[in-house]
Amino acid sequence: MPEDSIDHIDFDKLNEKAISQPLVSHIYTADPSAHYFDGKIYIYPSHDIESNIPFDDLGSHFAMEDYHVISVDSENGEATDHGVALHVKDVAWAEKQMWAPDAAHKNGKYYLYFPAKKADGIFQIGVAVSDSPTGPFTPEPEAIKGSYTIDPAVFEDEDGSYYMYFGGIWGGQLQKYRNNVYSSNNELPKPNEPALLPIVAKMTDDLLEFSEEPKEIKILDENGELLLEGDNDRRFFEASWMHKYNGKYYFSYSTGDTHFICYAIGDNPYGPFTYGGRILEPVVGWTSHHSICQVEDKFYLFYHDSSLSKGVTHLRSVKMVELEHQADGHIKTISPYSL
């Protein structure tokens, strides 16, 4: 239910019928990246605030300044807010807009990856390090070399390799890049041309830099053709995520202006990936952003909506619900409200 369709919603009734409730309600949280570290679920969300900045298609009203870490022991457990883990004022290279983050763990260290705009208005991705999954995190003095755009998602494969997936169009600025090079003259492809693709890069052993040039990952239709820019119900917009199930790689993402969370399946972390279907139908609010976390023998979808704020699209709340892989490997589509 995007913002332009919520004028007549009874939010009390909708919240009663929602399949899950916000994990925390004392602050607004969004873009949840969830991980199972040391027997506990840790969620690394954006921290939404009211900025009073006018709405625009570039997301200027999403003016987040810091990150909190949320933990929960189980699906029905009480969530704990561990407070501010990193603030933009502590990041030397960043000026504003601490958008959707992610985290990783290796050899007793925890890594928080985050996009932010530099003083020149261009997004890059940084990393901060801690001895604790809840922080506080100490940022590296510079952004990751070769990084750009938004929505970092770091995937640990079974062989110990780590990969970062990233990218987002419109406010995420991906449309300004070709072959990893920025130009203000670049724009979105035409509707009958292949859509812009998400980006992947393998990480160095210390998880602080890329070990290779970033590469595009192909998302194909049922005929093996690249999805087109005009295929708004299926093409990539933002919110990359990767998980693995039964030896297959599942790349999932948001379609942005059509408000779906979709997935595509491949045989290796670089793809190509073949479109598989929808994970999540539209939520209240314009944005849709998610993560998928395995906890023992179950998988959970973490997502957000704007129902707690009664439809204010930049004041969102994180939720979780169990995710089901079907016998044929496809994912059962989740409807966020039982209306």
**Closest by Cα among 238, 262, 263 to 99:** 238
Residue type, position 273, single letter: F
The catalytic residue positions are: 31, 238
Structure-block tokens of residue 25: 């309600």
Query: Is residue 239 left, alpha or beta, with left meaning phi > 0 and alpha meaning psi from -120 to 50?
Result: left
State which amino acid sits at residue 86: L
Query: What is the C-alpha separation between 295 and 162, in angstroms, rounded?
Result: 19
In this structure, what token pair is assigned to residue 175?
């449309």
DSSP conformation class of 196: P
* pLDDT at 226 (0 to 100): 98
pLDDT at 6: 58
CB 151 within 8 A of CB 199: no
Q: CA–CA distance from 170 to each of 44, 186, 207, 268 (Å)?
A: 23, 12, 28, 28
Instruction: Write the DSSP assignment of 43-67 as a string of letters.
Output: EEEEEE----PPP-TT-TT----EE
Structural contact between residues 270 and 311, judged by C-beta atoms closer than 8 angstroms: no
> What local confidence, expressed as pLDDT, does residue 4 receive?
54
What's residue 150's pLDDT? 98
Return the residue matching tokens 């501010």.
84
User: Closest by alpha carbon to 164, among 116, 107, 212?
Assistant: 212
Report cis status (omega within 30 of 0) of the bond before 272.
Answer: yes
pLDDT tens string, the chain, 339 residues long: the values are 665 555 578 888 888 889 999 999 999 999 999 999 999 999 999 999 998 888 888 899 999 999 999 999 888 889 999 999 999 999 999 999 999 999 999 999 999 999 999 999 999 999 999 999 999 999 999 999 999 999 999 999 999 999 999 999 999 999 999 999 999 999 999 999 999 999 999 999 999 999 999 999 999 999 999 999 999 999 999 999 999 999 999 999 999 999 999 999 999 999 999 999 999 999 999 999 999 999 999 999 999 999 999 999 999 999 999 999 999 999 999 999 985
